[in-house]
Amino acid sequence: MINKKNKILLLFYCLLFLLIVISCNETLEIDIPDFSEKLVVESFLVNTSNRIFLKLSKTVSPYKKLSWYDTTLLVHNAQVKVKLDNNEYNMIEDTISSVYYNGYIYKIFRKTGEYYINNVNLLNVNKCELNIDYKNNHVNCIEYFPDIVQIDSIQTTLYQKKLSNWSNPINYLKIKIFANFPKNQKSFYRICLVSNYGSLDYEFENIETDYFIHLSNENYEIIDLKLKYENLEYYLKRTRVYLDHITENHYNFMKAKKNQEEDVDNPFGSEGIQIPTNITNGLGIFTCIARDTICINIK
Amino acid sequence: MHKYKIIFFLTLLTCIVNAQGLYKINGIVVDSVSKEALVSATVIIEGKKIGTITNQSGWFAIEINAYDNLLISLVGYNTKRVKGIDIIKSEMPYVVVLSESPVLSKEVVAETENRREKNLRLLGYEQLTANQIKYTPSFGGESDIMKTIQMIPGVTSANENSTKLNIRGGESNQNLILIDGVQAYNPMHLYDFVSSFNTDAISNVELFKGSISSEYYGKLSSVLKINLKEGNKYKLRWGGGISILSSQLYIEGPINQNISYMFSLRRTYLDLILRLSNSDAGYSFNDLYGKVTYQISKKSKLFLSGYWGLDYATDFGNELNYNKWGNHVIHLRYNYIWNNNIFSDFSFSYSKFFTNFNWDIYHKSPYVIDYSFKNLNDIIISNKNSIKTGGDIHFYDFKITSEMFSRTNDISHFINSYEGNFFINWKHNFSEKFIFEMGAVYSYFSENKTKEKSSIFEPRLNLCYYLSDNFSIKVAYTQMHQFIHSIAPYNYYLPNDIFYPTSEKLPYMKGNQFTIGSSKVFNVLNSEYDVSMDLYYNDMKNVPNIKNHFDNTDPYLLPDQLTIGKGWGYGLEFQLAKKEGKVNGWISYCWNRAKRLFDGINNNEPYDPKFHKTHQLNFVLNYNISEKFKLGAIYIISSGQPLTLPSHKYYIDDKPYVYYGNINSFRLPYYSRLDLNIVYCFNMWNGSWELFGSIFNLLMRKNPSFLYFDISEARFEKISLGLIPTIGVKFHY
């Protein structure tokens, strides 16, 4: 039987518990600093491609709640020019005429904020210059194509690793790439495992996994790539490895981006990881990639 | 043969003796109950303005006349007066026994000489006894040295729950933390919430934050000495405690007349609680302290001490996932009293910090191992001149591993290096009013991988001038270096610190500190108070910081991913303390500035570090109400923590990212917290028991414990700790 004294004690502890709970989490009110929007560029020029693609958007106040499909972020009707060595091109803004949603195709006409040029030859281009004019904003960037690093040979080993006692083993592919990596200098790469899926009519390129690496003095690189699907038959289709020689700006951008993804929203996070940019007066990335490709057989 | 030559030479040095019928005596100050040596007790000649302080083995040496009296005192002990003639007639070393002062006794105002002796200590020196720490309230009822030290002016931390110390604008990894003289590399539990120091095993704690004697080197900012108990030499004692976080047990006693021991074990039961609550996560920490002391003869002593600490985090559902980390320290020390003038200490130590991280596909197991041999000599030439000299050799073994499983080509990077240090410190009393202390350290470091070699010579200076017997002004200059870097990626509360030696691309850190201070001892209404004020300026060079694109997948390239910068700080500290009596504690205020400047960070402009608080006012109170009741309270009010605000939000590849404005340019509202601790002492089952109740954040102010920007909700979220009551019990037999 609970006597009166114990009841009071129980009530006291309940009250304390309640106080702890209600005082646990709250939103902090902060004076919002002055905000002026900036243009955001996202463009990766691959030497083996004959198309240049650029996505242009703008920043918003970080304290404004909006979703990724919010079209107000897109920048339309900007004047986007790309100069490849001495040849200058005006980029055209892409449009969409229909959208597929919930089993239905809706006819719409909308500008996408995505700019492109088709039928350009990037193989022998050295210097790329970007100039964008939008309202009173002018942003620009100059980048250079790195040299192609050719893959000499590749060794693959398939293995499985069990991550817990109850789960199925996961497939990993260990690849060893021998290439003419430049010695005694910093160089940056993206190693990427690519497979194709879809029907014969419409085949998609699927990037299985990619890693950004920073090499200084080796002539080979070993990397473990996680295969997404348990059924290895999936990989019997055309599977290949890209060895992308990238710029330092590109590497720094991708790494800082990944670090920010892990850091933001994290109560134990840092003072804030700034994503670097090579866009003058803007944000984002405009970069050149020199690609070499090799097909592999997964056994 | 060389050894005897050195001893002969040192003895010769000391033969500037007896011009005025002076006798050289030496002795050891011990506790009356446990017979343990007492560190940092003051020994002065009554009526003369001459004195000294006991060393790490409780040893002192002084010149006296037959008619002199010695006054020996220490915080928490009754001052003892010993006749000089009695000492002279006795066999050396003379043993002085001090008895603990009953806290409820009428306060006895210290002799004038005593007040002067309190001024003898180095600038920025603080000493805390185990009792002071035990009754100071702390989070979860777990008495914590680091949390108590955070109440000292000039000491802050980046987070209210962190046990890391940022001292006078320095980084938390720039503090030399010594467990019984051996460096511990990362002595934290529970993701930095609890320090590794178990108060049951500790005799006292010393902090050097201003003038640092040349005896200490290797870290840039401060020295924190944790002195372990030697073990009761008189009778067997054992006890323990239970709190909401952990349980402790200790045992100490004599094996025979010459050998004593002390062991203390602590274990948390968070894992058991988490298991009962069906949580998927498991966590526990354990630590064990041990010390065996062997009194070989009256002149020589051998110590074997050790510390073993382990944190273990696991996923209950998956035993393949675990993360464990810890410190191991072993220390073998031998000290010998050669004669009335020379005391030597030889030690060999092993210290390791390791992490073993296995989570899904990720695996890393870095460590740092430090083997060292050290020699320390106290040479008392006369009452006016004393020399402290010695040196050490360290052999380091580093394993730096990648965080990612994806790169398997030589994923671990092993580096060996060695370090040699030699120091000398000379103390000279020019006159009764003016004391001069000068020292120097020569350090040599070699990294075997890149064959990078570094050497440095650093001077130390400490001047003290007495304006009156109880009022002094002190000036100090300290130069420090740090060869071992500790890099913590993104301040995660994981012990993911990477220890990396000085190398070609990562130069050693160098720092200077200038301090000017004054202290006065006075009494009001039969109570003695110490008041002190310090003004300091320090600077640091070659401070590493991680770049925004830091990537720990290749340990070989770690130095490439760091940016080297500098830091500086200045401030004013004020403290009014009453160290003894029924009511004791202190009030302190600190105004300080700290800055960091790194290439490529914050647009190459200086910024405030995360731990920086411009103003901090602390109150610490210990009130012994009666024999049965004790009250402890702390109150902190300080400037808010700096914060980096995002200035833009944008989308890349349909994912949101933020662009930050200037680092830490915004400040949170002020911080304030009141904690209380009430202890009820009683006797039960032939033992003495203490029942304690602790309240964390009595005012229920919602201070931000953790703060983060929720990018999808577009707002800052803060997690605050509300009022947290805890109870626990301690027992002693």
Helices of type H across B406-476 = none
pLDDT at A14: 58
Give tens-digit pLDDT for B429-452: 888 788 889 999 999 999 887 778
List residues bridging with B395 in a β-sheet: B371, B418
CA distance B39 to B227: 8
**Residue B153 contacts residue B589 (beta carbons within 8 Å):** yes
Contact criterion met (CB < 8 Å) for A25 and B718 = yes
pLDDT band at residue B265 using 50, 70 and 90 as cut-offs = very high
DSSP single-letter state for residue B382? S
What backbone phi and psi angles, to 5 degrees, belong to B504?
-55, -45
pLDDT band at residue B481 using 50, 70 and 90 as cut-offs = very high
* Chain A residues whose beta carbon lies within 8 Å of the beta carbon of residue B704: 28
Burial B240-259 (b: 16+ CB within 10 A, else e): bbbbbbbebbbbbbbeeeeb
pLDDT at B306: 93
* Chain A residues whose beta carbon lies within 8 Å of the beta carbon of residue B651: 40, 57, 68, 73
How would you classify residue B591: left for phi > 0, otherwise alpha for psi between -120 and 50, otherwise beta? beta
* Chain A residues whose beta carbon lies within 8 Å of the beta carbon of residue B647: 33, 35, 62
Contact criterion met (CB < 8 Å) for B649 and A64 = yes
CB–CB contacts below 8 A, A to B: 216
CA distance A160 to A286: 38
List residues bridging with B23 in a β-sheet: B64
CA distance B95 to B673: 45
ipTM: 0.84
CB contacts under 8 A, B 292-311 vs A, are none
Query: By C-alpha distance, which of B342, B420, B347 is closest to B387?
Result: B342
Burial B269-302 (b: 16+ CB within 10 A, else e): ebbeebeeeeeeebbbbbbbbbbbbbbeeeeebb
CA distance B297 to B338: 12
Contact criterion met (CB < 8 Å) for A23 and B659 = no
Give tens-digit pLDDT for B664-699: 888 888 888 999 988 999 998 888 999 988 888 888
Contact criterion met (CB < 8 Å) for B715 and A253 = no
Considering only CB atoms, A40 lies closest to which of B405, B650, B660, namely B650
pLDDT at B530 over 80: yes
pLDDT at B536 over 90: yes
CA distance B21 to B17: 9
* Chain A residues whose beta carbon lies within 8 Å of the beta carbon of residue B490: 259, 262-263, 269-270, 273
CB contacts under 8 A, B 587-646 vs A, are 601, 610, 644-646
- Taking CA atoms, B658 is separated from A39, A40, B302, B490, in Å, by 13, 12, 59, 16
CA distance B401 to B367: 9
E strands within B469-561?
471-482, 484-487, 498-501, 509-524, 527-546
Q: How much is the average pLDDT of B41-68? A: 85
In the block, which residue shows the tokens 């304390």? A16
Three-state secondary structure readout of B683-697: EECCEEEEEEEEEEC
> C-alpha angle with apex A148: A145 to A149, nearest 5 degrees?
135
**Residue B618 contacts residue B635 (beta carbons within 8 Å):** yes
**Separation of first and last alpha carbons in chain A:** 72
pLDDT at B320 over 80: no
What backbone phi and psi angles, to 5 degrees, belong to B703?
-75, 145
Give tens-digit pLDDT for A152-164: 888 888 887 776 6
CA distance B680 to B730: 10
pLDDT at B577 over 70: yes
Q: How much is the average pLDDT of B630-643? A: 89
pLDDT at B13 over 50: no
Nearest CA in chain B to A163: B360
pLDDT at B358 over 50: yes
pLDDT at B215 over 80: yes
Burial B481-491 (b: 16+ CB within 10 A, else e): bbbbbbbbbbb
Query: By C-alpha distance, which of A69, A138, A82 is closest to A110?
Result: A69
CA distance B514 to B474: 11
Give the SS3 label for residue B556.
helix
Cα dihedral A66, A68, A69, A71 sign: positive
**Which tokens is B639 given?**
């400037």
> C-alpha angle with apex A210: A207 to A214, nearest 5 degrees?
155
Q: Among the listed ranges A67-71, A159-163, B168-172, B297-301, which one has the minimum average pLDDT value?
A: A67-71
Q: How much is the average pLDDT of B464-492? A: 85
Which comes out higher in pLDDT, residue A31 or B8? A31
Give tens-digit pLDDT for B389-414: 999 999 999 988 766 554 454 467 88
CA distance B84 to A40: 83
List residues bridging with B206 in a β-sheet: B127, B225
* Chain A residues whose beta carbon lies within 8 Å of the beta carbon of residue B709: 62, 264-265
DSSP single-letter state for residue B122? P
Nearest CA in chain B to A266: B708
* Chain B residues whose beta carbon lies within 8 Å of the beta carbon of residue A186: 560
Q: Is B244 on the interface with A (CB under 8 A)?
A: no
Give the SS3 label for residue B172.
helix
Query: By C-alpha distance, which of B433, B403, B29, B386 is closest to B213?
Result: B386
**Which tokens is A29 given?**
């009110």
Q: Among the listed ranges B97-106, B218-227, B307-316, B547-556, which one has the minimum average pLDDT value?
A: B97-106
Residue B710 Cα, gap to closest chain A Cα (Å): 5
Give the SS3 label for residue A76.
coil
* Chain A residues whose beta carbon lies within 8 Å of the beta carbon of residue B653: 42
Contact criterion met (CB < 8 Å) for B647 and A62 = yes
CA distance B638 to B589: 9
CA distance A72 to A74: 6
Residue spans of chain A under pLDDT 50 = 1-2, 21-25
pLDDT at B588: 93
- Mode of pairing for the β-strands spanning B498-501 and B188-189: unpaired
Contact criterion met (CB < 8 Å) for B719 and A267 = yes
How would you classify residue B400: left for phi > 0, otherwise alpha for psi between -120 and 50, otherwise beta? beta
Give tens-digit pLDDT for B512-527: 999 999 988 888 877 8
Residue A35 CB-density burial (10 A; 0-12 exposed, 13-18 middle, 19+ buried)? middle
CA distance B593 to B714: 31
Best of A214, A220, A274 to disrupt the B interface by mutation (most B CBs within 10 Å)? A274
pLDDT at B728 over 50: yes
pLDDT at B11: 45
Mean pLDDT for all residues in chain B: 84
**Residue B72 contacts residue B43 (beta carbons within 8 Å):** yes
pLDDT at B337 over 80: yes
Give tens-digit pLDDT for B118-160: 556 678 888 888 877 888 887 766 778 888 899 999 998 877 7
Contact criterion met (CB < 8 Å) for B707 and A28 = yes
Nearest CA in chain A to B363: A163
**Which tokens is B232 given?**
């009761």
How would you classify residue B6: left for phi > 0, otherwise alpha for psi between -120 and 50, otherwise beta? alpha
Three-state secondary structure readout of B243-276: CCCEEEEEEEEECCCCEEEEEEEEEECHHHHHHH
**Residue B40 contacts residue B204 (beta carbons within 8 Å):** yes
CB contacts under 8 A, B 364-403 vs A, are none
CA distance B178 to B171: 17
pTM over 0.90: no
- Taking CA atoms, B665 is separated from B558, B668, B704, B717, in Å, by 29, 10, 17, 18
* Chain B residues whose beta carbon lies within 8 Å of the beta carbon of residue A259: 490, 548-550
What backbone phi and psi angles, to 5 degrees, belong to B165?
-115, 130
Residue A103 Cα, gap to closest chain B Cα (Å): 23
**Residue B298 contacts residue B283 (beta carbons within 8 Å):** no
**Which tokens is A47 given?**
């030497």
CA distance B300 to B639: 51
pLDDT at B573 over 90: yes
Rg (chain A; Cα; Å)? 26
Give tens-digit pLDDT for B461-474: 999 988 887 888 99
CA distance B498 to B489: 8
Considering only CB atoms, B716 lies closest to which of A28, A263, A283, namely A28
**Residue B178 contacts residue B213 (beta carbons within 8 Å):** no
Residue B308 Cα, gap to closest chain A Cα (Å): 27
CA distance B253 to B234: 7
Residue A288 Cα, gap to closest chain B Cα (Å): 17
* Chain A residues whose beta carbon lies within 8 Å of the beta carbon of residue B409: 218, 220-222
